[in-house]
Chains A and B, each alone.
Chain A
Amino acid sequence: MKQSMTSISPRQGLTQAPQPASDADRRWFLKRLTQTLGATGAAALLAGNSLSTALAYQPRKDSADHKGALLSASHMRLLHDICAVTLPRTDTPSAADVDCHGFIDHQLSTCHSTAEQQLTKDFLDALDARSRKTFNTAFVQLPREQQQQLLTQVERKDGFNQAQYGAFKLIKWLMLFGYFTSEVGATQALAYQAVPGGFKGSIPAKADTKGWGSLNYY
């Protein structure tokens, strides 16, 4: 996992672009760059992400089985399922596949207030309680369709109050943030240009054109 996190090549970025810079432009640019930086420097720079990722939140496969930095193990399992249902596996991995539940727990613990942390925990309890009341079973035991049905009710505020709705919107926002800034989200679900090769004000967009995952700031 760690290895693959360091390997966005410009080729990958550019072939995913709807209309990459022309080969001639690229060749010229690479030549200039190599002259200026030397071959090693140019290669390192163009590799885009050549630096240590040791400090970054490291997605893991088993976040749902452990207590998180903020959330209990049972909350983590619940959050895993919310991620799996909200942004499910399609032709690209799901939010749960890229450990958005682990990311949300990490982000809440480092970048959010204690009030928001508590709101999130309360919501997870309320969601589970609702599941037990409606379906007589825990949320994590429900089939995906019924989990989706419950989460849709949250968004309609159908049996959920404003605070719970707000807590789910925060979770959802963090999930989107976690997913689309993950390596998978930014480079597979979206199109990533590490080194765009210049700016074009107009390129054609089709129904299946992907949005840019390579935004400036998040």
Chain B
Amino acid sequence: MLDDGLFVCDTSEHYDVLVIGSGITGGWAAKEFTERGFKTLMVERGRKVEHRKDYITEGKGPWAFPNRTKVDNLLLEQQYYVQSNNYAFNDATKHFFGNDRDLPYATEEGTNFAWIRGNQLGGKSLTWHRQSYRMSDYDFNANKADGHGADWPIRYKDLAPYYSYVEKHIGLAANKDGLKQLPDSDSLPPFEMSTPEKAIQAALAEHFPDRPMIIGRCAHLSVATDYHIKQGRVTCQARDECQKGCSFGAYFSTQSSTLPPAIATGNLTIAVDSVVHSLIYDETTNRVKGVRVIDNNDLSQREYYADVVFLCASTLGSTQVLLNSTSKKFPQGLANSSGVLGRYVMDHNYNARATAVIDGYEDEYYSGRRPTGVYVPNFQFEPSRYKKNYVRGYALGGGASRLDWRRGGAQDGIGADFKTALTQPGGWHFEFYAQGEMLPRFDNQVSLHPTKKDKWGIPQLNFNVQWSDNERFMMEDSAKECENMMKKAGLQDIASSVSIQEGRAEYSRSPGFAIHEVGTARMGVDPKASVLNSYNQSHDIPNLFVTDGSSFCSTGTVNPSLTFMALTVRAVEYCANEIKQRRL
């Protein structure tokens, strides 16, 4: 149970560190600072969510929901028109998604962006998809190798020890695959493949030796160690209902994994319902002094102060705060002397997929709901492996499963035989979907809207983000390659589709939909072309750090959250050392 003394609203205390945000990066920053003895205030714009107690839909069967987990039409249309496009959004999870009516944003004519929100204590760590991969040196080198985007100021060796550190803490179920394009993790035992998946794996290994199919890696306790049990976490029960919250603490979230050790230090204080309006900047000392906050509920104003500010408010959240913090020296947004703040918006591109029928295996089934799938790491990971008409590559996610009763919707049949057949598992199917890299492009920009504001009086973000031909060609190619691979694997009835759209796309096809948005306050060696240095520290303002996805220079193809964590830990260690050396 969270102690109420942990929470503050109005306070004149001067903290060592302000951590803005409580999601994946905010939780890690708070843990690392408090464990080093720093008095830390975590500032969260949303409500308090208490581990276990506030997982109000956990364990409920579908019959316990008014519309069996579908969401009422009117509510969808009026309050969740963006969020409802997300795969994890339903009546059992909607309380962990933002309310679109209260969280407006603008898009340039002819463009669209799906901004998925999780404004509560724990942020999107409660609802994330938990797939966790290290970026490789090929990813960190990609911009330099082909000239798209600015070079990352770090390489794999800089991050490797921090990957290990966070993996041991969060618990990550993964196989040791020994692939140069996808470094192995310090992991717990992997989840199992089904028998047909193993057969497809073997067939692909024969026909496509450069495209290994592995089991997905996810932040789940496949086997809880004593270390995790001491955190109050136990082995994953394979319910795969994670986005309702998990009282077993079996997947990584702020609540299950970073908050408990941070609280245990006695150095953590949390301010919830505190919407950060802007940073307080002192021009004479060139330091940020704190934050201006608007109360989430009654719109009253307050301020919090500290020696150091860590922005961990999500890529777009942190960018909005910086853009809205202006001064004489920084008229275009704080720490934005380079002018690139808000530019180079990127996301992953999930707009191609293929499905196929697997013949046979009628005597095979699986038990439990696996929280991951199969995965083919990017096999176009260096320029010599690129296709002719586009650069970079894509990973493939997917899996095999037996059809369930839903197949009956497309079948003819009336009566007992029809009913009985649907109570049994149907045939095996296999699917692949592409997770494509998106290039960093100057024109893909998020800025503050000149006139529109939200209810807290903060200018709305205005998105001007579009797919380019490179992303389009990649999706078209990946759909063909999926078909090709399925064919060679001996699958039947193969069908693929490409859903990338030009211009104003549906939310489910537009950038943002993968919720891997990154790049708007990028790191770099050159202060004239980047916002942050190689330790996620502002080039312009030394006591300001941004450690979420906004610091990325490219997307790579892997799910980014594990890298957010590693970057955050590394930045805290650096910052703590700078303070100790009295350089900060």
Contacts and interface: CB of A to CB of B under 8 A. Distances in A.
B62 A218 contact: yes
Contact of B408 (A47, A110, A176): A176
Nearest to A206: B363
Contacts of B57: 51
B365 A209 contact: yes
B473 interface: no
A5 interface: yes
Interface stretch (A32-40, A70-78, A125-133, A134-142): A32-40
A218 B68 contact: yes
Contacts of A218: 62, 68-70, 90
Interface stretch (B228-236, B313-321, B506-514, B565-573): B228-236
A196 B56 contact: no
A180 interface: yes
Contact of B58 (A35, A45, A53): A45
Contacts of B402: 211
B423 A148 contact: no
A217 B69 contact: yes
Given A36-B232, A148-B415, A218-B69, A196 B248 contact: no
B405 A211 contact: yes
A123 to B, nearest CB: 15
Given A85-B415, A176-B408, A195-B237, A53 B63 contact: yes
B67 A111 contact: yes
A153 B406 CA distance: 22
A155 B60 contact: no
A64 interface: no
A50 B57 CA distance: 10
Given A41-B247, A199-B191, A217-B69, A192 B61 contact: yes
Given A199-B191, A215-B404, A216-B241, A33 B364 contact: no
A147 B413 CA distance: 13
B312 to A, nearest CB: 28
A128 B241 CA distance: 43
Contacts of B63: 5, 53, 56, 181-183, 186
B384 interface: no
Contacts of B58: 45
B104 interface: no
A212 B62 CA distance: 13
Nearest to B366: A201
Interface string A1-37: 0000110100000000111100000000100110111
B193 A178 contact: no
A159 interface: no
A51 B368 contact: no
Contacts of B193: 201
Contact of A32 (B224, B404, B418, B425): B224
Contacts of A47: 59
A176 B192 CA distance: 31
A162 interface: no
Interface in B242-260: 247-249
B526 to A, nearest CB: 46
A92 B423 CA distance: 10
B424 A211 contact: yes
A211 B68 contact: no
A201 B192 contact: yes
B239 interface: yes
Contact of A110 (B66, B194, B366, B420): B66
Interface in B52-103: 52, 56-74, 87-88, 90, 92
Contacts of A207: 424
Contacts of A194: 59, 61, 239
Nearest to A173: B409
Contacts of B371: 199
Interface in B388-435: 402, 404-406, 408-409, 412-416, 418-420, 422-426
Contacts of A173: 409
A107 B66 CA distance: 9
Interface string A174-218: 001110111100110110111111111111111111111011111
A155 B74 CA distance: 32
Contact of A201 (B59, B197, B422, B426): B197
Contacts of A53: 60, 63-64
B419 A88 contact: yes
B61 A198 contact: no
A36 B197 contact: no
Contacts of A19: 367
A192 B419 CA distance: 17
B235 A32 contact: yes
B362 interface: yes
Contacts of A161: none
Given A29-B235, A33-B234, A110-B73, A199 B61 contact: no
Contacts of B195: 201-202
Contact of B72 (A8, A110, A180): A110
Interface of B: 52, 56-74, 87-88, 90, 92, 191-195, 197-198, 224, 229, 232-241, 247-249, 362-371, 402, 404-406, 408-409, 412-416, 418-420, 422-426
Interface of A: 5-6, 8, 17-20, 29, 32-33, 35-37, 41, 45, 47-51, 53, 55-57, 85-88, 90, 92, 103, 106-107, 110-113, 148, 151-152, 155-156, 169, 172-173, 176-178, 180-183, 186-187, 189-190, 192-212, 214-218
Given A169-B409, A196-B369, A217-B92, 19 more contacts: A47-B59, A51-B57, A56-B66, A57-B67, A88-B419, A110-B66, A111-B73, A151-B414, A172-B408, A187-B61, A189-B419, A199-B191, A201-B197, A202-B366, A205-B362, A205-B365, A209-B424, A209-B425, A216-B240
18 contacts: A37-B52, A45-B247, A45-B248, A49-B59, A53-B64, A86-B414, A88-B415, A181-B62, A193-B369, A200-B366, A201-B366, A203-B364, A207-B424, A209-B424, A215-B369, A217-B88, A218-B69, A218-B70
